[in-house]
Structure 1
Amino acid sequence: MKCAALTGISPEVIKDLKAGRPRTIELQSAHNIVTIANVEPGPDTHIFMTSVDVGDLSAGDAGICVYLISTSLSMKRIVEFSRGMYYEERERMSARVQVRYCAASVVKEVFHESLTQPTEVEVLKSSCYHAG
């Protein structure tokens, strides 16, 4: 299955998602914002999440697949004044995503051209069967 990938996610966040609780995560990394801006939320939309950095992501890396419930992009403007003569204006874009755990998965292939292009991966969803 091919899906968008969010990288550099905290292992604690991934552990919390594995517990089954939906979570809202704020993303500030440019490559993750570019990736999430190209994905529409929906009941069948999957996102791969891993703690591995985008530059190190390769086949065999483990992570989780999550359902993308909702997304929100926002721009924050910060203005700093110094002694009334000088001011600096900055803008910071962030994305908030609400996700719910789907399955553990492993990267089969990575599709990442540059920081201005979305990161996508081909993943293998792990299956776990229990005798009843």
Structure 2
Amino acid sequence: MPAQAGKDLLIKIDMDGSGRFETVAGLRATRIAFNAETVDVTSLDSPGGWRELLAGAGVRSAALSGNGVFKDAATDARLRSLFFGGQIPQAQVIVPDFGTIQGPFQITTLEYAGTHDGEATYELALASAGQLTFAGA
């Protein structure tokens, strides 16, 4: 697989609950991380005293994050509304030449920053809040 442009990794939010996804505007950097907790089933009978893990057990989760500059009033307003309302919208992550991950995510962090001689910026973090699906590219 050839190298991919980082700008093509997109976070999209359902804008009105109807499945109308729009890219979160102004992001300069995005990241998705998948996590899986383990369940240790090691016992005195474990071969060689090595740790054993229970397959298919544990909690799986995903975390999204990004930072950028303000570019679009509609997605900015939607993010603020979701955060302050404690809502859990559907979100999509587009990973170039890999596929689309979709599911419910809650905004866990929404930060705003700026300096006197620069642009206003924001940081965003979301945590999965249910089962995710994957559709290959």
Question: TM-score higher than 0.5 here?
Answer: no
Identify the structure with bigger relative contact order (alpha carbons < 8 Å, sequence gap 6+). Answer: 1
TM-score by length of 1: 0.36
Question: Where is the strand percentage greater, Structure 1 or Structure 2?
Answer: 1
Greater Cα radius of gyration, structure 1 or 2: 2
TM-score by length of 2: 0.35
